[in-house]
């Protein structure tokens, strides 16, 4: 977390009601991306441009259902290319690599168990149930696998791993068995102002790495792993560590199907529920035991090994891929030779055929000659791969130090500025507006207004992402902080100069969802007069949900019990009816597209998700039922003949 994931940011999911109207847009993007033939994933730049332009034209011609407001059009316009890019990523990504498609362990007690998209940390193999990809990637994966569609969220309240650890300043302590390269240590020292002390192990380490092997063909690689595993398992347990879940499955099948290994001697360690440590604590791993794991079994896992196998070398670890840095590599091989026991390890790598085939003229050799040649070259090629890996890691740390950390600091300083501004505005402007209210009521109104501020901040920060990502110097950082002061803080200060509620309603609230939000708070306070003002603003700002018309009718009925308001009420309810009819038509269109989603599924996807399983289609059907119920009661309220 301090090093590999220093850039990672924890943020509270901040859902903005306005973004729920993007569902149809996302479906159009997904169907457009699915219609493109991808020959080379690295050459889709022009496709992204073309589809983005096509979608922009559909939005401009109002062929896609989104709110007809300037702020929403601006948001969609600058996000289109990012969303289209995410849709291509979702199309290319496969399960069992960066994510798994399975029932969340947190949902196992629920009566209706549904497979969800669970993000994996490939360095640790840990399933990250609370992690969601941003910029539409999560939503496009949901469409791809026909899961329930979620609303995109923006970043508003957050803290980076770097900032979290820096809070502790000189009180930061830690222990690790894999500190990494000199570059990694220098980075940690500079970033967190920490020093290092080496503590010798209490027992001598008896780990030996030998017999590294390479392949250039996937089938040969699987076969070699299986043969090495079977040979080593004759005298001791074997732990096979894989890059992803897909590899664990393929190696499992290779052992079971092609090499007839009894499945009961193989243990999988891929998911949180795979209690491997508990299993081998009760009965230590011994001769013939085979464990196939992702890096979940390669980092922090303590597999108890029967001491009798020490005479034959202890547990053997096969690392089937080259980790991105030496720390992960050391963690993987560190699963064996623990507490003074014996242990061995080896690499069996699948390397890039296009690189080494030409260098060593492998294409001119027979299969047997090629295998012999690769065996001779194994140590040389693996050393070359490790040097290349270490150079990339050094470059990554250099970029992280020179650019990425600076960009993180910009976001953190912007957030601090926003937080200070929010507190000041709440105390000096929002609180006096409701001084005649009880403390509990004041809190409700202030929270609602602060939430609107957070929405504005989230939109501003999202829009500034390209500028933040381009920052490379301290001066660029200063310039962006000044821009935030002028384009966000000062602009809002000018809007909020006059501290009256009517001024707030007129100048500060600019979106129908904002007006509705404040109106609901007034309704909860039985203040129908001010609630009515808010819902009138909601209508003026183009509320497409119909809620403002219904709520305004409710306010009028409570404000004018003695007056004949039937005609006005029916007029507003008719407009709400029209809004809901429009939403229903859009949902029906979405339903048709949802029904076609299984047709774009590949054979691999259909093995994971049946063509009959379409939770997105079910979700739309449920929405249509709710809309249908509202329409039924509105028609009853309006009656058969309605004045225009």
Q: How many CA atoms lie within 13 A of 343 on its CB side?
A: 25
Between 84-88, 162-166, 255-259, the lowest mean confidence (pLDDT) is in: 162-166
Q: What confidence tens digit (pLDDT) does each residue in 214-248 have?
A: 999 999 999 999 999 999 999 999 999 999 999 99
Whether 128 and 104 have beta carbons less than 8 Å apart is answered as no
Whole-angstrom distance, CA of residue 229 vs CA of residue 320: 12
- Tokens representing 121 are 């940390």
DSSP 431-486: HHHTTTS-HHHHHHHHHHHHHHHHHHHHHHHHHTHHHHHT--SHHHHHHHHHHHII
Domain ranges of the chain: 9-171, 206-350, 564-644
**Per-residue pLDDT at 197:** 85
Mean pLDDT for 276-284 is 90
Specify the 3-state DSSP secondary structure of 278.
Answer: helix
What percent of the chain stands above pLDDT 70? 96
CATH 3.40.50.300 fits 206-350, yes or no: yes
CA distances from 224 to 227, 251, 375 (A): 5, 10, 11
Biggest CA-to-CA distance, the chain? 99
pLDDT for residue 210 is more than 50: yes
| Residues ≥6 apart with Cβ < 8 Å to 625 | none
Q: Quick one: which H or E segment has residue 630? A: helix 615-638
Specify the 3-state DSSP secondary structure of 348.
Answer: strand
pLDDT for residue 378 is more than 70: yes
Angle, vertex CA 9, rays to CA 6 and CA 12, nearest 5: 155
Beta bridge partners of 101: 117
pLDDT for residue 67 is more than 60: yes
Specify the 3-state DSSP secondary structure of 280.
Answer: helix
| Residues ≥6 apart with Cβ < 8 Å to 140 | 26, 29, 30, 33, 86, 87, 89, 90, 91
- Tokens representing 445 are 């109104």
Q: Quick one: which H or E segment has residue 214? A: strand 213-215
Confidence category of residue 643, pLDDT binned at 50, 70, 90: very low
Whether 506 and 433 have beta carbons less than 8 Å apart is answered as no
- Tokens representing 95 are 């399960």
Whole-angstrom distance, CA of residue 429 vs CA of residue 435: 11
- Residue 69 burial class via C-beta count within 10 angstroms: exposed 0-12, middle 13-18, buried 19 and up: middle
Confidence category of residue 105, pLDDT binned at 50, 70, 90: low
Mean pLDDT for 401-415 is 90
- Tokens representing 382 are 């693996």
* Averaged confidence pLDDT in the chain: 90
pTM for this one? 0.88
Which residue carries 């508003």 as its tokens?
Answer: 156
Specify the 3-state DSSP secondary structure of 473.
Answer: coil
| Residues ≥6 apart with Cβ < 8 Å to 206 | 314, 337, 340, 341, 342, 343
Whether 154 and 14 have beta carbons less than 8 Å apart is answered as yes
Q: Which residue has the higher pLDDT, 359 or 32?
A: 32
pLDDT for residue 644 is more than 60: no
**Per-residue pLDDT at 363:** 84
Confidence category of residue 364, pLDDT binned at 50, 70, 90: confident
Q: Quick one: which H or E segment has residue 70? A: helix 70-92
Mean pLDDT for 452-468 is 94
Which residue carries 């940390």 as its tokens?
Answer: 121
Confidence category of residue 560, pLDDT binned at 50, 70, 90: confident
Confidence category of residue 261, pLDDT binned at 50, 70, 90: very high
Confidence category of residue 1, pLDDT binned at 50, 70, 90: low
Mean pLDDT for 323-347 is 92
Confidence category of residue 642, pLDDT binned at 50, 70, 90: very low
């Amino acid at each position: 977390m301090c090093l590999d994931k220093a850039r990672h940011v924890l943020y509270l999911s901040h859902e903005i009601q306005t973004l729920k109207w993007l569902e149809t847009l996302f479906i159009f993007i997904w169907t457009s991306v699915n219609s493109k033939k991808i020959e080379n994933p690295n050459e889709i730049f022009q496709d992204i441009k073309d589809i983005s332009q096509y979608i922009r034209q559909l939005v401009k011609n109002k062929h896609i259902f989104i709110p007809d407001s300037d702020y929403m059009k601006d948001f969609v316009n600058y996000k289109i290319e990012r969303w289209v890019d995410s849709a291509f990523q979702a199309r290319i990504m496969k399960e069992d690599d960066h994510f798994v498609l399975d029932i969340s362990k947190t949902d196992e007690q629920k009566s209706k168990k549904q497979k969800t998209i669970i993000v994996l940390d490939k360095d640790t193999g840990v399933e990250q149930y609370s992690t969601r990809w941003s910029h539409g990637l999560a939503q496009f994966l949901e469409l791809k696998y026909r899961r329930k569609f979620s609303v995109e969220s923006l970043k508003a309240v957050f803290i980076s791993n770097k900032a979290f650890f820096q809070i502790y300043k000189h009180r930061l302590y830690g222990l690790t068995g894999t500190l990494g390269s000199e570059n990694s240590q220098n980075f940690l020292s500079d970033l967190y102002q920490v020093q290092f002390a080496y503590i010798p192990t209490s027992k001598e380490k008896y780990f030996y790495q030998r017999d590294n092997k390479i392949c250039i063909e996937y089938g040969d690689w699987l076969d070699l792993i299986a043969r090495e595993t079977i040979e080593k398992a004759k005298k001791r347990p074997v732990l096979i560590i894989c890059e992803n879940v897909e590899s664990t499955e393929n190696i499992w099948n290779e052992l079971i199907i092609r090499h007839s290994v009894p499945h009961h001697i193989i243990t999988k360690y891929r998911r949180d529920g795979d209690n491997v440590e508990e299993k081998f604590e009760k009965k230590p791993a011994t001769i013939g035991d085979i464990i196939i794991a992702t890096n979940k079994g390669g980092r922090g896992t303590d597999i108890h090994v029967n001491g009798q196998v020490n005479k034959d070398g202890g547990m053997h670890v096969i690392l089937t891929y080259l980790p991105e840095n030496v720390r992960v590599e050391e963690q993987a091989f560190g699963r064996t030779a623990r507490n003074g026991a014996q242990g061995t390890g080896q690499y069996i790598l699948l390397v890039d055929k296009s690189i080494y085939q030409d260098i060593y003229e492998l294409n001119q050799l027979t299969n047997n000659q090629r295998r012999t040649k690769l065996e001779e070259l194994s140590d040389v090629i693996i050393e070359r791969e490790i040097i290349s890996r270490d150079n990339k890691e050094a470059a990554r740390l250099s970029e992280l130090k020179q650019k990425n950390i600076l960009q993180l600091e910009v976001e953190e300083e912007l957030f601090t500025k926003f937080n200070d501004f929010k507190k000041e505005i709440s105390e000096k402007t929002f609180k006096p507006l409701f001084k005649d209210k009880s403390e509990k009521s004041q809190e409700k109104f202030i929270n609602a207004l602060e939430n609107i501020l957070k929405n504005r901040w989230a939109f501003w920060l999202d829009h500034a992402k390209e500028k933040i990502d381009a920052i490379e110097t301290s001066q660029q950082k200063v310039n962006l902080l000044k821009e935030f002061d002028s384009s966000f803080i000062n602009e809002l200060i000018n809007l909020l100069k006059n501290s009256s509620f009517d001024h707030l309603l007129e100048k500060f609230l600019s979106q129908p969802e904002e007006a509705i939000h404040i109106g609901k708070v007034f309704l909860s306070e039985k203040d129908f007069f001010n609630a009515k003002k808010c819902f009138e603003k909601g209508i003026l700002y183009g509320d497409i949900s119909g809620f403002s018309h219904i709520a305004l009718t409710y306010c009028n009925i409570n404000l004018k019990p003695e007056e004949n308001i039937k005609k006005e009420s029916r007029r507003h309810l008719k407009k709400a009816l029209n809004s809901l009819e429009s939403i229903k038509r859009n949902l029906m269109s979405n339903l048709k597209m949802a029904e076609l989603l299984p047709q774009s599924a590949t054979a691999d996807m259909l093995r994971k998700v049946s063509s009959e399983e379409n939770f997105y289609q079910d979700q739309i059907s449920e929405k249509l039922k709710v809309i249908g119920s509202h329409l039924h009661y509105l028609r009853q309220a309006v009656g058969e003949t309605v004045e225009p």
